[in-house]
Structure 1
Amino acid sequence: MPGFEQVRTSWVASDSVLLDRNGEPLADLRLDPRVRRLPWVSLQTLSPAMREALLAAEDKRFFEHSGIDWKAFIGAAWQNLWSRSRRGASTLTMQLAGMLDPALRLPAKGTERRSVTQKWDQSLAAIELEKHWTKPQILEAYLNLAPFRGDLEGIGAASQLLFGLGPEALTRREAVILAALLRGPNAKPPVVTRRACALAATLNDRQLCPAIGELAQARLNNPRNTPRFALAPQLARNLLKEPGLQLRSTLDATQQRALIAALAREPGASWALLLDNASGEVRAWVVQGSAPELPDPMTQRLELAQWWTPFAVAQGLADRSLTAAGLVIDGDTVLDARDARAGQRTRILSLRTAIAGRSRGALRNAIRDPHAEALNSWLHDLGLDNTDTPAVSPHQLALAWRSVTSASSFVAARGLPLEAPQKRPAMQEAAFLLQDMLGAPHNGSGFRSSWLFGSSDGQWQIALGNSDRYTLLLGLRSSPSPDFATHALLRWHESFSAVQKEPSRPPQASEGLVNGIIAFEPPIEPARREWFIKGTEFSPVMLAALPYPARISWPQAGASYRLDAITADAWALRADAACAVHWTLDGKPLGQGAQVRWTPQTGRHQLRLLGPRDEVLDALEFSVTP
């Protein structure tokens, strides 16, 4: 016979459990298909009702005998001799010996009982166990090794998976049912009820029988292989590889629940990833609308349109080839105003304005070639090893964003506190500038910076950004609605408020930054205060070499505007101009200067922008509807 400690330490649960950072279960995964076991249960944590029911059903004189109950043995022999009904006399110790020694186990189906030789050997083994094990150890091992129903083995699995209770919470109602199952683990509910009611009567609790019948009928044949915890099933499949593990992760169960609730209103598939800015640890990992057994969409690569743009801007700021006030061309250069109506309209704007307006044309002209060696090396340092493919996984994207905006070391976080940060060049000033251009206060919740990524196939919108404490990625299945990008960003802000209750603070400027007033000539943008990395600051006045003398910036060519959608009495018609200009509307003089006021009227209108010699610099048509 093995020793008690040997039996207990060799016990392996069939399930592994993923825990949050505070030890709360997040998800469980069954990894042993042969048997369903849960962690070993100590006798001290078992409810008194279960011990009482067990001893009443299986071994009334357990604490009196030394392995064999001779009174029960003689009574059983007499009854078996003179009666057709068969009665066993195995003590708990004898039954445990049969569980521990394969040679003493019950024969295979087809024969009812052990042979006389097996019974004799079982009795000797029980006496040997009693010499080396204490009574509490025998009880504890028996309850953990006993088969209860189907593939359930041990009191932990039986109580949790049949009744949803821990072994310490079992009442007499559950206890007598479990004790009755020891005689016939797979008996039908009426048979189990009859045996359990008889046991309750033995314990002077006959009135419990109706409740016993209801519970047995409701729970004994229910599915028993469903997960007990389902807060992070996808991450559990990524991390749990061996049975019996209790794996503590970096996740926070409260924040995990908050994001699950925030995404519950989305009709399609969605996912969210929350990172701690200071450490890079994963605080929440939510995947909705995807079966756990399917590949985790958080780690699957998606083709996202110009996903490298914010990272390339950060690189340009860090190596001082870009500044927030630097001027870029939005679109293709147009040298003649007459060509502007036929193709893409072109304007000059600062990098800050391009970032704030997410102007793809301007940003494409501002950043370096996305296939350049320097940028590829920079992206690789951020964990974006995508030199061979235009695709990137949401997981990679979020880790890189957190690393850039928090000016911290890159951490290849997977939800476990095991990975060491990888060193890379510091970029504290660039991180501040990027967030300062991207971010804004939001509804009293503090400062947040964000970016929207759309998949090339139009199926996904990804909102990604950060506060002072966290980085949050939110992926939503796109809908045909033209406002879905706005919806995704709104849902991102709502989700952020659910995981960070206190207002977030704006980034703090470091000593490597300077702030000064900058103006543009001609005034393509209003004068403002601007941040620069030391050594990149401009003279107070920036000259904008416009590729055209002047152009109309609002209204847009061919646009239709609703009259009741504008609350102002007069509209402001605007132009980007490098010379003196004046306006005509429908052939009549309207005013002069880069901006004029006009009281709107319904109908279709022809607008012209004229130079000092009345030459036409730009012209367009637009309409106003009621």
Structure 2
Amino acid sequence: MKKKFLAGGALFTALVLLGSGVYFYNSLPKLRSYEQVKTQYQSSDLYILSHDGKLLHQWRKNKDNRSFQWTPLADISPVLISEVLKSEDRFFYEHTGVSITSLVASLYQRSFKDSSRGGSTITMQLLKLIAPDRAQYSGMTGKLRQILSAYRLEKSWTKKEILESYLNLIPLRGEYKGVTSSSWALFNKSPSGLTLKEAVALAVLIRSPNAGVKDWKNRACWQEPSLCSEFPAFIAELAKKTLESSTHNVALHLAQRLSPHFVSGEIKSTVHMDVQTYTQEVVKSQIQNLQAQNVNDAAVLVVENATGNVWAYIGGSGISDKKFVDGVRSYRQAGSTLKPFLYATAFENNILTPNSWIEDSAVDIVFERGIYKPQNHDKQFYGWVQVKTALASSLNVPAVKVFKLLNDESFWTRLQMLGFKNLKEPEHYGPALALGVADVTLEDLTQAYRTLANNGIYTDLRFTSNDPEPKARQVFKAQTAQDVAYILAQSENRALGFGLDSALSTQGASVKTGTSKDMRDNWCVGFNSRFTVGVWVGNFSGDPMWNVMGVTGAAPIWKKVMAFLDANYPSAKLSLASAQKEITPPEKYPQARIVYPQDGMIMALDPAIPRGHQKMPLLAEGPHPAGLQWKINGKKVAGNKSILWTPETGRHTFELYQNQKLAQKVQVLVK
């Protein structure tokens, strides 16, 4: 009898409230529009988007709650929408904000079933989610205010707008807000791809977000009896999750780089999702294959030549424990990757041509800090070779000789013009700069090769759609860049060092590898007419790899990425015909030169050593040694390629003749 009295009282109260609704109607709180709610929505995370708006990476900025990007209704699985309506508002598309059936059912449940089931529609629930002060909808008066406001909301908003806003704003398990954040947290997928079982498990959480496993399972079974046998184990496993979202990680390092530039919750990058994802998988696979050889880390940069747009930015292998180190911006020893710019400088200064001959033989290079004895990686010497072979086969001795031929700081200056940062002064490196002892970043190295691909023109990279159009500067003449590109594109040029069939044998692309001292770093950088791809492989810890060269470590990654680009974003073949025509014919008798002493050198005799025991070497190189002749202060001396001279105080002139013609003259002051 008491329950009937209570039910009658509750119904009477409801009728009184409805009857006085006209009084409240004009004093209802002002409602925000759908556009205002969506615009004012704040994601707890920052987002990196691909060039076409796809999510590449996200990371958290708000620690109070967890909400992701606003998700359109079209991007939410229909099965999830259906299960939410089934659980929360079966008559959503039939009522106009208030369901009398649900209200009566709620009153009945509260009065006779001791149930706390509410009669609020999705529209009424949304009002609390968007209200500046939720207290205005509390109590009996507040309930009337909520009912009347729901009618008003349905008149100004569409059903689609109401449902979409509700699904984005509804609080769910733990700190998560909206179905998108919970979907990623629980199932590691967007709400567009949820299965029926997943949709049910998520939908029944709305009524009691932090329900225990038992209640959660019971609600799911009540909602979808056909799957009840699967829910106990499934929900028990979901309940174990920490709900720390396993979001996209493919652009972690790009996100770190761009984070200072955020002006809103998201930023659209120039990265292409398919290229980024494929490259990351190739890197992961290659490093897994090399882990037995003590290789754990890698980085890749893919750049479009014409625009400078970065299409892929992989800062790490994805399997290393040093996941926050950015390999694209880390400084590592360049190895042989600087040689193309050394030879380009020599071409630019008209010292050599691609078909010039240079001797690959043992030599002692004397410089301010001592004597340098360069060797090739295989400890062999190949005698007289053409410059194009020396470069493409990465011979060390010819590179050092080219450096000495320049006899100035022009190579170092070109490296600065190419954008290499943090270079020490030239004297710090000495002739070893020719072999890449300088520390460089993958970003700067890739940029330098892109300059060759762009006919010697350098421009900055672009990482976002808002980056300004880059300014251009000419570093090398177009002909010089084309000459180097052609050399690096021909398999026969690198046959001496790598054979004709290697990971570098790619049609229509120019490529160079490099390996630093003790195999701590290896590189592969190259380009076709549309893209430049740079790859670094090694260990962020600095530990050496075990028998891994550039051609076996970085080159396989480079080759696969280039093949993917060529298949999906075809490019014209490199236009290098002009470079072939301009290259001079092979020179049978290249110019001899003085290796030591250098012009302008100042020497001092050691008073502690007897004069007759002090010797200075005269070193020369050139074809046909028998045709070489030295003159000291105008007088012929015995010997051709190398002799020992007893120094005397004063200024002295040393002349080298080749076939009775003066090849070079230097002057030295002895004190």
TM-score (norm 2): 0.66
**Does 1:422 find its partner at 2:467?**
no
Q: Check whether the contact 2:333–2:439 (CA below 8 A) recurs between aligned residues.
A: yes
**What SS is found at the alignment partner of 1:29?**
strand
Instruction: Find the counterpart in structure 2 of residue 604 from structure 1.
Output: none
Q: Trace 1:59-74 onto structure 2 (pairs within 5 A).
A: 59-63=89-93, 65-74=95-104
**What SS is found at the alignment partner of 1:398?**
helix
Residue 428 to residue 106, structure 1, CA distance change in 2 (3 Å): same
Instruction: Find the counterpart in structure 2 of residue 568 from structure 1.
Output: none
Alignment match of 2:564 (pick from 496, 499, 503): 499
Residue 86 to residue 434, structure 1, CA distance change in 2 (3 Å): closer
**Does 1:151 find its partner at 2:175?**
yes
Instruction: Count residues in correspondence.
Output: 518
State the shift of 1:481 in Å: 4.1
Instruction: Find the counterpart in structure 1 of residue 433 from structure 2.
Output: none
Instruction: Find the counterpart in structure 2 of residue 588 from structure 1.
Output: none
Give the letter aligned to residue 473 of structure 1. G
Instruction: Find the counterpart in structure 1 of residue 646 from structure 2.
Output: none
Alignment match of 1:484 (pick from 536, 544, 549): 549
Instruction: Find the counterpart in structure 1 of residue 304 from structure 2.
Output: 276
Q: Distance in 1 between matches of 2:158 and 2:45?
A: 29
Residue 368 to residue 416, structure 1, CA distance change in 2 (3 Å): farther
Q: Check whether the contact 1:234–1:296 (CA below 8 A) recurs between aligned residues.
A: yes
Alignment match of 2:346 (pick from 303, 307, 316): 316
Give the letter aligned to residue 461 of structure 1. N
Instruction: Find the counterpart in structure 1 of residue 440 from structure 2.
Output: 392
Instruction: Find the counterpart in structure 2 of residue 569 from structure 1.
Output: none
Residue 213 to residue 102, structure 1, CA distance change in 2 (3 Å): farther
Residue 296 to residue 419, structure 1, CA distance change in 2 (3 Å): farther
Structure 2 spans left out of the alignment, 5+ residues? 1-30, 376-380, 426-437, 492-499, 597-621, 628-671
Give the letter aligned to residue 332 of structure 2. L
State the shift of 1:207 in Å: 2.2
Q: Check whether the contact 2:536–2:554 (CA below 8 A) recurs between aligned residues.
A: no
Give the letter aligned to residue 491 of structure 1. P
Q: Which has the higher helix share?
A: 2
State the shift of 1:399 in Å: 0.5
Give the letter aligned to residue 382 of structure 1. L
**What SS is found at the alignment partner of 1:90?**
coil
Q: Distance in 1 between matches of 2:587 and 2:192?
A: 74
Deviations along 1:25-52, whole A, 9 cap, x unmatched?
4333334333332333344554444444
Q: Check whether the contact 1:371–1:387 (CA below 8 A) recurs between aligned residues.
A: no
Stretches of 4+ aligned residues off by more than 6 angstroms = 342-348, 368-371, 545-548
Give the letter aligned to residue 178 of structure 1. L
**What SS is found at the alignment partner of 1:153?**
coil
**Does 1:194 find its partner at 2:194?**
no
Q: Distance in 1 between matches of 2:417 and 2:473?
A: 7
**Does 1:404 find its partner at 2:440?**
no
Instruction: Find the counterpart in structure 2 of residue 361 from structure 1.
Output: 397
**What SS is found at the alignment partner of 1:12?**
coil
Instruction: Find the counterpart in structure 1 of residue 87 from structure 2.
Output: 57
Which segment drifts farther, 177-186 or 278-287?
Answer: 278-287
Instruction: Find the counterpart in structure 2 of residue 440 from structure 1.
Output: 490
Alignment match of 1:466 (pick from 527, 531, 545): 527
State the shift of 1:175 in Å: 3.6
Q: Distance in 2 between matches of 1:375 and 1:43?
A: 59
Residue 153 to residue 327, structure 1, CA distance change in 2 (3 Å): same
State the shift of 1:393 in Å: 1.0
Deviations along 1:72-97, whole A, 9 cap, x unmatched?
44554465456644343333232222
Instruction: Find the counterpart in structure 1 of residue 625 from structure 2.
Output: 578
**Does 1:231 find its partner at 2:250?**
yes
Q: Trace 1:304-343 onto structure 2 (pairs within 5 A).
A: 304-305=334-335, 308-326=338-356, 332=363
Q: Check whether the contact 2:184–2:245 (CA below 8 A) recurs between aligned residues.
A: no
Q: Distance in 2 between matches of 1:132 and 1:579?
A: 100
**Does 1:29 find its partner at 2:59?**
yes
Instruction: Find the counterpart in structure 1 of residue 497 from structure 2.
Output: none
**What SS is found at the alignment partner of 2:449?**
helix
Structure 1 spans left out of the alignment, 5+ residues? 108-113, 201-205, 522-541, 549-574, 581-626
Instruction: Find the counterpart in structure 2 of residue 210 from structure 1.
Output: 229
Q: Check whether the contact 1:234–1:292 (CA below 8 A) recurs between aligned residues.
A: no
Give the letter aligned to residue 38 of structure 2. R
**Does 1:514 find its partner at 2:582?**
yes
**Does 1:247 find its partner at 2:268?**
yes
Instruction: Find the counterpart in structure 2 of residue 297 from structure 1.
Output: 327
Deviations along 1:588-618, whole A, 9 cap, x unmatched?
xxxxxxxxxxxxxxxxxxxxxxxxxxxxxxx
Q: Distance in 2 between matches of 1:171 and 1:304?
A: 50
State the shift of 1:179 in Å: 2.8
Q: Distance in 1 between matches of 2:364 and 2:90?
A: 96
**Does 1:95 find its partner at 2:125?**
yes
Give the letter aligned to residue 280 of structure 1. G
Residue 291 to residue 233, structure 1, CA distance change in 2 (3 Å): farther
Q: Which has the higher strand share?
A: 1
Q: Distance in 2 between matches of 1:135 and 1:316?
A: 72
Q: Distance in 2 between matches of 1:480 and 1:168?
A: 44
Q: Check whether the contact 2:57–2:248 (CA below 8 A) recurs between aligned residues.
A: yes
Q: Distance in 1 between matches of 2:364 and 2:161?
A: 86
Deviations along 1:392-441, whole A, 9 cap, x unmatched?
21110111112024415323225435353332225221112223434423
Q: Trace 1:524-563 onto structure 2 (pairs within 5 A).
A: 542=590, 544=592
Q: Check whether the contact 2:330–2:442 (CA below 8 A) recurs between aligned residues.
A: yes
Q: Distance in 2 between matches of 1:370 and 1:225?
A: 58
RMSD across aligned C-alpha pairs, in angstroms?
4.2
Q: Check whether the contact 1:26–1:253 (CA below 8 A) recurs between aligned residues.
A: no
Residue 296 to residue 12, structure 1, CA distance change in 2 (3 Å): same
Residue 8 to residue 280, structure 1, CA distance change in 2 (3 Å): closer
Residue 297 to residue 372, structure 1, CA distance change in 2 (3 Å): farther
Q: Distance in 2 between matches of 1:285 and 1:458?
A: 24
TM-score (norm 1): 0.70
Q: Check whether the contact 2:56–2:273 (CA below 8 A) recurs between aligned residues.
A: no
**What SS is found at the alignment partner of 2:394?**
coil
Instruction: Find the counterpart in structure 2 of residue 142 from structure 1.
Output: 166
Q: Trace 1:591-610 onto structure 2 (pairs within 5 A).
A: none
Q: Distance in 1 between matches of 2:574 and 2:93?
A: 70
Deviations along 1:558-613, whole A, 9 cap, x unmatched?
xxxxxxxxxxxxxxxxx975349xxxxxxxxxxxxxxxxxxxxxxxxxxxxxxxxx
Give the letter aligned to residue 215 of structure 2. V
Percent of paired sites with the same residue = 24
Q: Check whether the contact 2:344–2:481 (CA below 8 A) recurs between aligned residues.
A: yes
Instruction: Find the counterpart in structure 2 of residue 598 from structure 1.
Output: none
Q: Distance in 1 between matches of 2:545 and 2:170?
A: 57
Q: Check whether the contact 1:312–1:368 (CA below 8 A) recurs between aligned residues.
A: no
Instruction: Find the counterpart in structure 1 of residue 631 from structure 2.
Output: none
Q: Distance in 2 between matches of 1:505 and 1:410?
A: 21
Q: Check whether the contact 1:249–1:416 (CA below 8 A) recurs between aligned residues.
A: yes
Deviations along 1:289-309, whole A, 9 cap, x unmatched?
446862312112224357644
Q: Check whether the contact 2:423–2:439 (CA below 8 A) recurs between aligned residues.
A: no
Q: Check whether the contact 1:327–1:544 (CA below 8 A) recurs between aligned residues.
A: no
Q: Distance in 2 between matches of 1:448 and 1:23?
A: 31
**Does 1:261 find its partner at 2:282?**
yes
Q: Check whether the contact 1:68–1:126 (CA below 8 A) recurs between aligned residues.
A: yes
Q: Distance in 2 between matches of 1:266 and 1:385?
A: 30
Deviations along 1:494-530, whole A, 9 cap, x unmatched?
4356435579956514389535543434xxxxxxxxx
Q: Check whether the contact 1:368–1:375 (CA below 8 A) recurs between aligned residues.
A: no
Deviations along 1:249-298, whole A, 9 cap, x unmatched?
24351464156325342322122223333433333322204468623121
Q: Check whether the contact 1:15–1:243 (CA below 8 A) recurs between aligned residues.
A: no
